[in-house]
Structure 1
Amino acid sequence: MLLDASASGLFPIAPTPFTPDGKIDEGSLDTLIARYLAAGATGVTVLGIMGEAPKLEPEESLAITARFIAGFGRLPVIVGVSAPGLAAMRWLARAAIDKGAAGVMIAPPPALRTDDQITGYYRQAIEAIGADIPFVIQDYPLTLTVQMTPKVIRQIVEENPSCVMLKHEDWPGLEKISALRAFQKEGSMRPISILTGNGGLFLDFEMERGADGAMTGYAFPEMLGEVVKLQKAGERDKAHDLFDAHLPLMRYEQQQGVGLAVRKYVMMKRGFIASDAQRKPGSALSATARAEVDYLLSRLARHDPRAAI
């Protein structure tokens, strides 16, 4: 099943589990898949920035992709294929689709600065991978340093019919969601799915601005999925109450440089993965930082029993 503009709900960004010696932990891949499905995932994204994709060999990337496709069955698997060169992007995109992936995610390279450079890059990327592959725009200026205005995103969408989704990670970015939905309402942009990232840090209001769901890797994916469902059901206060309880831990996880270490540590404690190891070069939490996370978990457990680890 190929990805289309109707995609919604919870698409966790999967970390890549490693053993302490840097090998891919295949057992934890299976556990991770099972836990995501139990959390109510409606799809999944692999080989994203937090998936340590640049540290993987091409064959490893494809093997991880195939394992998630098999584990998720008929649910869509999106594969991050961003690469410095279009040849590598094409290889992984075509190989992933051949394995059964639903679509691919493409981030702009950091060197792009002007609107023409950004739109031109996406034209070239789609020419390289093929217009038959549905793709997701990854808009993440905090890390990628590429600023995409709503008009630029609209142009990419209108010029490339295979664009079906935006992964929205601008910060602040609520007005951008509103602008894109206004384009759609006035008929100047066709409908696309908008899923949001940034560790879920703004999911509460992003849903109210017109997002269709979450595509991020916060260590409690169940909460993300529940906030999405509550907002869609009009249960605004319940959604914010649940979200607010998790906000201190989400904030801690969003620290630049150690965010993945925090996420993997919590996921290890929750039994999603066996080890919080990162493939080198990578960061690790100090004893003080681990104690701080443990404290935040103990406070969260007063409101959400899933944090009682």
Structure 2
Amino acid sequence: MWKGVYPAVTTKFKPDGSLDHDEMARSFSLQLDAGCDGLIVCGSLGEGPMLSHAERIEVLDVALAVAGTKPVLMTVADASTQASCSLARAAQKSGAAGLMVVPSMVYHTDERETVATLKAVAAAGDLPVMIYSNRLAYRVDVTHSMLETLAGDDHFVAIKESSDDIRRTTEILNAFGERYDVLTGVDNLAFEALTVGAHGWVAGLCCAFPAETVAIYKLVKAGRYDEALVIYRWFRPLLDLDVSTYLVQNIKLVEAIAADSNDRVRMPRMAHEGERRSQIESLVKRSLDTRPALPSDLHLL
């Protein structure tokens, strides 16, 4: 159902902290025009937990307005299952194509609680669900046995695999075949995951460099690994910025430089300054200076 490149888009703010609908529409359109297969809104990159439910639906509506026939997924990530169910229902009402669901944000659920929460949110939204498994950031691991239990529920169609263990992709595919679409959620493991069979890439630095992200995916799927690897090796220092406590500030700063956007964030996050900002600015400028040419036949893949 969800194969290809799905950027986890950033949420844009005006100087007064309110949502910047126009800049979001422009940024989201850049992703789609570059060949991305859909959008995922209000995740960690989209600062979802820092937004009210009403604001999250606003962001969703902006994405839906520019996405046309391409799917837009709402990230559901709240402290309580009750709140997650409420957001899932609101997203379904607004026209989301699906949900990307984080089992628990604050309390670290056990296996029984994780499965029950995912099932409750899926039932509330009555939409296809991508399970977001990220044991590092959220300390809740959606394990093989949980996927086995959830396989009997048709709402669950995909998994964003962010365990940071590249073996997981093969293990899921070996165990479940094509039951779940497996999308890698770790930017600097994307080439590795795609080459062992991942169906897609939930991408972060794609927000600033969508054409390169799409090129890597298309070339891998066409079996043109050497060409994909040249781009990936160039991209790797930037992709490393996705694996950080400061991933939101990192990627928004890259967007500000490479995509003519801005790096406004919502507190408690604060935009980079000083040495950290200078390091990222230097990295982006070096990357732009050495940006590889993309194959001319990508549009045919």
Residue 97 to residue 113, structure 1, CA distance change in 2 (3 Å): closer
Match of 2:297 in 1: none
The offset of 1:74, in angstroms, is 0.7
- Write the deviation string for residues 37-79 of structure 1: whole angstroms up to 9, x where unpaired: 1221110000111211122122211111111111101100000
User: How many equivalent pairs are there?
Assistant: 290
Alignment match of 1:261 (pick from 249, 254, 269): 249
The separation in 2 between residues aligned to 1:242 and 1:262, in whole angstroms, is: 20
Asked if the contact 2:7/2:36 (under 8 Å) is kept, the reply is yes
- Provide the rounded CA distance (Å) in 2 between the counterparts of 1:272 and 1:159: 45
**Deviation digits for residues 179-213 of structure 1 (CA, Å, limit 9, x no counterpart):** 1111234xxxx522111112x11001100121111
* Change in CA separation of 1:58 and 1:124 when aligned onto 2, cut-off 3 Å: closer
For structure 1, which runs of at least 5 residues remain unmatched after alignment? 1-5
Counterpart-to-counterpart distance in 1, 2:122 and 2:241? 37
* Residue 268 of structure 1, CA deviation: 1.4
Decide whether the 8 Å contact of 2:204 with 2:242 is kept in 1: no
Tell me if 1:202 matches 2:189.
yes
- Residue 108 (1) aligns with residue 96 (2): no
Q: In 2, Cα distance between the equivalents of 1:151 and 1:241? A: 37
Among 48, 57, 67, which residue is 1:53 paired with?
48
Summarize the alignment of residues 124-203 of structure 1 with structure 2, pairs less than 5 Å apart.
124-127=120-123, 129-130=124-125, 132-156=126-150, 158-172=151-165, 174-185=166-177, 191-198=179-186, 200-203=187-190
Distance 1:66 1:302 in 2: 36
Distance 2:140 2:244 in 1: 20
Measure how far apart 1:113 and its partner are: 4.7
Separation of aligned partners in 1, 2:40 and 2:118: 20
2:26 to 28, 31, 34: 31
The answer for the alignment partner of 1:3 in structure 2 is none
Identity of aligned residues (%): 26
CA contact (8 A) 1:214 1:225 kept: no
Counterpart residue number, 2:79: 84
d(CA) in 2 for partners of 1:24 and 1:30?
11
Q: 2:145 is matched by which residue type in structure 1?
A: K
More relative contact order, 1 or 2 (CA 8 Å, 6+ apart): 1
AA at the equivalent of 2:83? A
Aligned-CA RMSD value: 1.9
Mapped partners of 1:253, 1:181: distance in 2: 25
Deviations 1:92-141 (A, max 9, x none): 222222222100111111533533332233233334x15x3111100011
Contact 2:44 2:248 in 1 (8 A): no
Question: For 2:167 and 2:242, how far apart are their aligned partners in 1?
Answer: 24
**Contact 1:201 / 1:247 at 8 angstroms: preserved in 2?**
yes
Q: 1:191 to 1:209 in 2, by over 3 A?
A: same
